[in-house]
Amino acid sequence: MTIKIIAFGKIADILPEQEWKMDGVQTSGALREQLEASYPALKDLRYLIAVDKKIASDDSPLEDHSVVALLPPFSGG
């Protein structure tokens, strides 16, 4: 199973790539754990994970060809 990951904002600054593919991750929570283990600076950020354009909880399943967005806090005016 392969998913596509896209990082935005501060998250994209921490990660070495803004967009990449990853194999073998079953849930959005497992993805978060794996990313935070590889990039500890992510632990200090509050961010959301969206799967196929819908905000996901940590137990949301990831399917082959899912598109996952890592979304930092938004501010607006």
Instruction: Let me know: does 35 contact 42? Beta carbons within 8 Å.
Output: yes
Would you state the structure tokens that stand for residue 10, as one six-digit string? Answer: 């501060």
pLDDT for 40: 97
pLDDT-based confidence at 76, cuts 50/70/90?
low
Rounded CA gap, 39 and 12, in Å? 11
Q: Parallel, antiparallel, or unpaired: how do β-strands 2-7 and 67-71 relate?
A: parallel
pLDDT for 39: 97
Query: What's the chain's average pLDDT?
Result: 94
Q: What is the mean pLDDT of residues 48-63?
A: 96
Number of other residues whose CB lies within 10 A of the CB of residue 43: 10
Rounded CA gap, 62 and 39, in Å? 21
Domains of the chain listed by start with CATH number = 2-71 (3.10.20.30)
